[in-house]
Chains A and B, each alone.
Chain A
Amino acid sequence: MRRRFTVLMSVLMVVGLAVPSAFADIVIGHPATLSGSQAKAGEQAVGGVKAAIDWVNNTRGGVMVGGKKMMLDYKVYDCESKKESVTSLLERLVTTDKVNFLFAPYSSGLTLAGATVAEKYGVVYMDHGGASDNIFKQGFEYAVQTIGPGSKYHAGTLEMVKKIDPSAKKVALAYEDSEFARSVMDGAEIRAKELGFDVVFKRTYPAKVTDLTPLLSDLKASGAEIVIGGGHFQDGQLMNKQMADLDINPKLLSLIAAATLPAFGEALGELAEGVMGPSHWEYGVTFSAEGAKKLGKTWIGPSQDEYVALFKKAVEKDMLPDYHAAEASAAVLALVLAVEKADSLDNDAVRKALGDLTFMSFYGGWDVDDTGLQVGHSMVDVQWQGGKRMIIWPEAAQTGAPAYPKRKF
């Protein structure tokens, strides 16, 4: 009796495993950060991948390869936001599950850790959540970025100031001493100098800092008009709060990684008003098929509202997608176009096609350079206005006008 039950269960399990893959022809493998420190971004990314696959299979009708419609399938594991798990899961996805293409986990550090495995097996490695420029300076051949590189975060912000207020000259950079923030701020410094700003203050603070008062007193003395800073959520909150405490009122305050999160406004209330942050994508941006046509670009994917509906279905709760999801979805769309362009599932052919590819989707532009670095996607700037995040820059994506200069604390 017991044995029969076991046999029955194994048969059921084999059938259960076999059924989805019987119809699927292209499998994407993903060691996602579903738990651990990056769990929030990982949940979004997986929802984004699922939503995009849903759209490709059910709305678009699959992927055309060699005159045959193929379906996408998704194999996802939880890497617990740990480097060791990322590498072993990628090995498993390639050797045991025999997936066709790989997706990187969220965050620069984990993406970098996994890139070596993808390189070893020569499998296309879609980076959807690793912004550091450093990943693409290692000579990896199969890594392809969808998230915008860190060095470009404030290009738009500074151009906005240049346009609205040409008299503003003094820029201050105060940021966390971390890989990500450093690449962002070095990029900002270069851009600021190109645009003719004076960088009057550039100082770091250590991670997990609990009091920024001395640094901010110093910043206040520098007389900076434009303050760009941050690193993570917690120190961004701290910097905002303590700038208010010390009555430091620049014309513009932009904080990376903190100001774009809904919790920022909840924690700071009134003090968040007017604070800006660069974002890869925000709900409300106005990229559309018509706009792409005007620019002469290929358009693929759902419209923004269709996308939000697909995302909610994928995560099975009433949650809005943020940029972590949009990036992952755009990476799926890029892969689909590249496979069709290469007309093959061969990784080298697809990687080459990705290099030649340029398109637009609800996420905005997509184009990579020779190293795989994303160069076609521009950031949007959001600003807290009346307790809401408005997209204020670039003008083409605006949902509200920039409040400049920032109102006093």
Chain B
Amino acid sequence: MLLEQLSGNLLQGLVLGAVYGMATMGLSLIFGVLQVVNVGHGAFIMVGSFTALMMFQGMGIPPVFAIPVAMLIGMGLGMLFYYGAMKPLVSPSGSGIRKMSPKVLGMAGGGFVGMLILMWIGSGLFKLNVAIYIFVGIIFIYGFFLYIYGGRRQDKAPELATLLVTFSLGVILEEVVKQIFTSESRGYNWDIGKLDVGITVFPYPKLLAAFGSMMIAILLYLWFKKTRAGMAMRSVVEDDVGARVCGVDVDWQYALSFSLGIGLTVTSGVLLTMFIPVGINPYMGGPYTLKAFVIAVLGGLASPYAAFFGGVVFGLLENGSYTLFANIPGVEPFAMTRFFSFVMLLVILLIRPTGLLRAK
């Protein structure tokens, strides 16, 4: 009985952990390449969840097909935010849209337009209000100032500044989404059946979410190890000055990895809603931000697939320890699982300060 419950919970933990891992890869990637901690991480997850919700409710498109859309929107948002806010802080060679190449403008514009189209389609479902026009107005005014004042050579900003910027990007996203959708918790019901494995039950969307997470993790791994572009990005992680000397366009690698990181994070929002399709609201990202930080450290920072591995371990710990605590009389097992996960984190940091998969 106990064993049955434990194995059931561990199976669930494995599936959940795969999604957790996926939801941390973007954070890890951005930290690894840019040394920026994305404090607004949860807000980007939320954007992905709303993408899936709008596509399903507004157009009846199953959430699986929202994955590529979310990736594009995320990468576009990433480009927009990188050139609009991050670049002067992380790159010593100055900032500004005057330096934007056509491919950057294309990607940023594409993502932005894609988001607007989704909002426009969504407006049949949900009321668009005046705040969104104000938001777009502010973006244009900001872009104008960026054009006038941008492009100047600056010193690299202190790390605290990047924390503040990512935090504020998160807040801006949350408030914009709140203006459109209100702060109500939404949900959808995509019922495609369940898989009964005897000891526990999995609805297919959950399994698809876990499978999708694994596929994306593998693709990212292959891209890093097997392609020239991946190699260029890894060289920036190793030594950005050395990479620059060898002819790698470090600025572009920064932009690309930020955008890829945001893309992955937004995509993970879709996968998370496949896992749990309720409770979708502008402020849903908070708990995931915290978990992502823990998972990233657990797996070993600076490597997205280590983060994926950390996620799986975290999911197993969280669910597995529940069964053990549930059999101790007088404790609230759910409160204990959190305690336990963090104690495990401390222990692992004590033994392997660089995380489970050793980062350098």
Q: How far is the CA of A270 from the CA of B322 in the complex (A)?
A: 30
Q: How far is the CA of A211 from the CA of B201 in the complex (A)?
A: 15
CB within 8 Å for A211 and B16 given contacts A237-B278, A241-B276 = yes
- Structural contact, A221 and B323, CB atoms closer than 8 A: no
Q: Of the listed stretches A16-24, A65-73, A201-209, A315-323, name the one at the interface; the rest are far from the partner chain.
A: A201-209
Q: Nearest Cβ distance between residue A221 and chain B, in whole angstroms? A: 6
- Structural contact, A177 and B332, CB atoms closer than 8 A: yes
- Structural contact, A177 and B335, CB atoms closer than 8 A: yes
Q: How far is the CA of A334 from the CA of B346 in the complex (A)?
A: 57
Q: Nearest Cβ distance between residue B120 and chain A, in whole angstroms? A: 22
Give the residues in chain A near B352, CB-CB below 8 Å: none
Binary A-proximity of B154-195 (CB < 8 A = 1, otherwise 0):
000000000000000000000000000000111111010010
Q: Nearest Cβ distance between residue B360 and chain A, in whole angstroms? A: 32
- Structural contact, B332 and A204, CB atoms closer than 8 A: yes
Give the residues in chain B near A268, CB-CB below 8 Å: 187, 189, 278
With CB as the reference atom, state the residue of chain B lying closest to A39. Answer: B183
A271 contacts B by Cβ under 8 Å: yes
Q: How far is the CA of A204 from the CA of B276 in the complex (A)?
A: 20
Q: How far is the CA of A269 from the CA of B279 in the complex (A)?
A: 14
Q: How far is the CA of A367 from the CA of B290 in the complex (A)?
A: 47
With CB as the reference atom, state the residue of chain B lying closest to A221. Answer: B5
Give the residues in chain B near A290, CB-CB below 8 Å: none
- Structural contact, A204 and B334, CB atoms closer than 8 A: yes
- Structural contact, A238 and B201, CB atoms closer than 8 A: no
A215 contacts B by Cβ under 8 Å: yes
- Structural contact, A218 and B278, CB atoms closer than 8 A: no
B35 contacts A by Cβ under 8 Å: no
With CB as the reference atom, state the residue of chain A lying closest to B189. Answer: A269
Which residue from B202, B278, B332, B335 sits with its C-beta under 8 Å from A238?
Answer: B278
CB within 8 Å for A214 and B337 given contacts A237-B278, A245-B203, A245-B206 = yes
- Structural contact, B287 and A210, CB atoms closer than 8 A: yes
A8 contacts B by Cβ under 8 Å: no
Q: Nearest Cβ distance between residue B320 and chain A, in whole angstroms? A: 9
Give the residues in chain B near A218, CB-CB below 8 Å: 5, 322-323, 326, 333
Q: Nearest Cβ distance between residue A219 and chain B, in whole angstroms? A: 10
CB within 8 Å for A214 and B185 given contacts A203-B333, A221-B5 = no
With CB as the reference atom, state the residue of chain B lying closest to A242. Answer: B276
Which residue from A221, A240, A245 sits with its C-beta under 8 Å from B201?
Answer: A245
Which residue from A177, A217, A234, A269 sits with its C-beta under 8 Å from B12?
Answer: A217
- Among B5, B278, B319, chain A packs the most CB atoms within 10 A around the CB of B278
With CB as the reference atom, state the residue of chain A lying closest to B8. Answer: A217
Give the residues in chain A near B203, CB-CB below 8 Å: 245
Q: Nearest Cβ distance between residue B144 and chain A, in whole angstroms? A: 32
Binary A-proximity of B276-302 (CB < 8 A = 1, otherwise 0):
111101000011100000000000000
CB within 8 Å for A210 and B337 given contacts A238-B276, A241-B187, A245-B201 = no
Give the residues in chain B near A238, CB-CB below 8 Å: 276, 278-279
Q: Nearest Cβ distance between residue B281 and chain A, in whole angstroms? A: 7
Q: How far is the CA of A235 from the CA of B284 in the complex (A)?
A: 12
Tell me which residues from 9 to 35 in chain A have a Cβ below 8 Å from any Cβ of chain B. none
Which residue from A205, A210, A217 sits with its C-beta under 8 Å from B9?
Answer: A217
With CB as the reference atom, state the residue of chain B lying closest to A269. Answer: B189
CB within 8 Å for A203 and B334 given contacts A210-B287, A214-B323, A238-B276 = yes
Binary A-proximity of B343-357 (CB < 8 A = 1, otherwise 0):
000000000000000
Q: How far is the CA of A238 from the CA of B322 in the complex (A)?
A: 18
Known pairs A217-B9, A245-B194. 11 more at Cβ < 8 A?
A177-B335, A208-B287, A213-B319, A214-B334, A217-B5, A217-B12, A218-B5, A235-B279, A263-B185, A267-B188, A267-B278
What residues make up the interface of A, taking CB atoms closer than 8 Å to B? 177, 203-206, 208-211, 213-215, 217-218, 221, 233-235, 237-238, 240-242, 245-247, 263, 266-271
